Amino acid sequence: MYKNLREFLDDLEKKGEVRRIRHEVSPYLEISRYTDGESKSPGGGKALFFERVKGSAFPVCTNIFGSEQRICMALGVKDLDELGAGIRKYIEFHPPGNLKEIIRTIPMALELTRFFPRTFRGKTPPCQEVILRGEEVNLAALPVLHCWPKDAGPFVTLPLVITRSLETGKRNTGMYRLQIFDKNTTGMHWHIHKDGSHYYNEYRNAGKRMPVAVAIGADPATVYAATAPMPRGLDEMMLAGFIRKKPVGMAKCVSIDLEVPAEAEFVLEGYVNPDELRREGPFGDHTGYYSLADNYPVFHVTALTHRKDAIYNATLVGRPPMEDCYLAKATERLFLPMLQTVFPEIRDYWFPWEGVFHNIVIISLEKEYAGHAQKIMSGLWGQGQMSFCKAIVVVDKDVNPGDPAQVMAALINNLDTASDITLGKGILDVLDHSSPFPNFGNKIGLDLTSRCSGEPPRNRKKINRQIPSPDGLVCIIRAGLPGASACRCLFPEYSQDSQNRILLLSVSRQEQSGRDFAHMLCHLAELEMFNIFILYDEHIDLEDNSLILWKLFNNTDPGRDIFAENHRVVLDACVKGPADGHDREWPDELTFDV
């Protein structure tokens, strides 16, 4: 495994996974344009190394995790499922019952001790080869990226933010973006549901200043561990040690009582005051939209340390696919065995990238009794990070949840819109913009599993009318639906003999609400061969499968934007406004075109 970032970069270069940019580039949008284009190349493109950055003495690397090969290299595996297999070995461990079993467990116990972080024992930790304090600190010397045109400023996008609980003394390492305000202050973007925010509230309630350290550019396993949704109180440095098969070396900070990865490229040391807030954002986020401005704590940097030849590591997030998709995939595979300890009937699961990690999950279930699918939905909505998930789709155990064709076949052939939809309410990710309320809203579950004893039969009335040609459909919608301009029959290969037929429509909303369009659609006799309709804004390319899924998952509030009438269902994936009962600001979509 890799001791530090540079060892990883060297190995990537040997394997032809690095593209070097040798001419001078600007951290204002230019590096982002390169990175966005590379991230969306087939297979995730290459890692990028920018040798000369305008206004800074430090080079920049991006997209280092952004392919299946690179994320596996970063985590020391040939396949990401190896991570889960390693975790499963410890989860399935049973306490010894006799002396013979105790002897057998000794190697496993000794192996566990290898994961604990260790104090750096050399003379000078690499991260402290250069030490700047007080007025010497100038964050402008770092090549921090201004990622998207409407961002409020430059943001540190791959920081390892290290804090310690005031009550328990336990360490947390999380990844929370930092907006650069000036030479020695940044925003501290702690979402209200995150451990960093929880620890901050402990200090705030006690009226005490909170010490904070931020490492930038650590070894790849440690960077990944900071992104992982670990249970509160478990040290992410132990997870990094587990992945590395070697402990993370930690160095004491020079000005505060915290420890940081000794091999980091940069470290920011400082504090957060208990009641000091400042406007932070907007920021182009991983949802593909700008997260809106809000008040967040302020991080005061009192010391900046770094390697003599430090490399600045950054990431760019935006509409999938991007580098963070591969980090999320690693989390999906790593945490499956942990989820199965609570729900052993779950065979597998999949988070489609278009759902941006919190909007939809597909669950493969070994179904045993009536209502089992609904029980899993309820259980997941009350379970840790899964509670943020807006939509849960449950399929049978013989359906591969990661195969879109198999999942869509189950939806087309099984879904009974009258009995298979479960609606609920609960917490949502802070970045969900579709709900009328921040952090709280409607959820939906779809049961696509086979019926078992005790469950009511599905309505198996098939739609027998022939589907018109594409040109014929366009003529029908333009004549009968004012504002409609284009349409697409989804999955026509399934549609002739299926339980459900889906039609996508591009519409110009103007003053009409989604409910208005839904009412017209549900009474348009010429379209009676379809029973499910999805509305999109008129500029959306209905032939772009990734785009239509991304819009559907991100723009739909299940309680407000799903309409059922006359045995038909309409989903509204358009931009919302007051006419739709959405009074919150709707964020702008990310683009480099201003």
pLDDT at 106: 46
C-beta separation of 307 from 129 below 8 A: yes
Average pLDDT over residues 63-85: 94
pLDDT at 79: 93
Question: How does the average pLDDT of the chain come out, rounded?
Answer: 92
Per-residue pLDDT tens digits for 353-404: 999 989 999 999 999 999 999 999 999 999 888 999 999 999 999 999 999 9
Angle at 301 between CA 300 and CA 304, to 5 degrees: 175
What residues are annotated to the active site? Answer: 285
Using CA atoms of 169, 174, 179, 184 in order, give the dihedral in degrees to the nearest 10: 40
Average pLDDT over residues 55-64: 98
pLDDT at 104: 54
pLDDT at 231: 81
Average pLDDT over residues 398-419: 93
Per-residue pLDDT tens digits for 508-538: 977 778 888 888 888 888 998 899 999 999 9
Please report, for the chain, the start and end positions of each structural domain, with discontinuous segments joined by +: 5-313, 343-447, 470-580
Residue 37 has pLDDT above 70, yes or no: yes
Topology alike, domains 343-447 and 470-580: yes
C-alpha 279: how far from chain center:
24
Q: Where does 188-252 show beta strands of DSSP type E?
A: 210-216, 249-252
C-beta separation of 302 from 131 below 8 A: no
* Contacts by residues 10-18 (CB-CB < 8 Å, ≥ 24 positions apart): 11/73, 12/47, 12/64, 12/70, 12/73, 15/69, 15/73, 17/46, 17/47, 17/67, 17/69, 17/70, 17/73, 18/46, 18/47, 18/48, 18/49
pLDDT at 34: 98
Q: pTM score, two decimals?
A: 0.92
Residue 103 has pLDDT above 70, yes or no: no
Q: Which amino acid is at 132?
A: L
- What's the CA gap between 170 and 357, in Å, rounded? 27
pLDDT at 110: 46
More confident residue, 73 or 565: 73
Paired tokens of 460? 């198996």
- What's the CA gap between 330 and 84, in Å, rounded? 9
Per-residue pLDDT tens digits for 272-307: 999 999 999 999 999 999 999 999 999 999 999 999
pLDDT at 498: 77
Average pLDDT over residues 244-248: 93
CATH fold group of domain 5-313:
Pnp Oxidase; Chain A (2.30.110)
Instruction: Give the range among 45-59, 150-164, 415-429, 459-473 with minimum mean pLDDT.
Output: 459-473
The CATH class for the domain spanning 470-580 reads: alpha beta
The DSSP annotation for 376-416 comes to HHHHHTTSGGGGG-SEEEEEETTS-TT-HHHHHHHHHHH--
C-beta separation of 584 from 436 below 8 A: yes
More confident residue, 485 or 100: 485
The DSSP annotation for 531-547 comes to -EEEEEETTS-TT-HHH
Name the superfamily (CATH) of residues 343-447. Answer: UbiD C-terminal domain-like (3.40.1670.10)
Per-residue pLDDT tens digits for 181-230: 999 999 999 987 778 889 999 999 999 999 999 999 999 999 999 999 88
Confidence of residue 310 (pLDDT cuts 50, 70, 90): very high
Which residues touch 75 (CB under 8 Å, ≥6 apart)?
Answer: 83, 220, 221, 224, 243, 330
Per-residue pLDDT tens digits for 104-121: 554 554 456 678 899 998
SS3 of 233-245: the string is: CCCHHHHHHHHHC
The DSSP annotation for 8-32 comes to HHHHHHHTT-EEEE-S-B-TBTHHH
Average pLDDT over residues 5-22: 98
Average pLDDT over residues 148-165: 97
Confidence of residue 594 (pLDDT cuts 50, 70, 90): confident
Paired tokens of 136? 């010497």
Residue 557 has pLDDT above 50, yes or no: yes
Nearest by Cα to 415 from 376, 458, 382, 445: 458
Q: What is the largest CA-CA distance in the chain?
A: 82
- Residue 153, CA distances (Å) to 150, 178, 289, 405 in order: 8, 10, 16, 42
- What's the CA gap between 105 and 86, in Å, rounded? 16
Average pLDDT over residues 420-425: 94
pLDDT at 218: 97
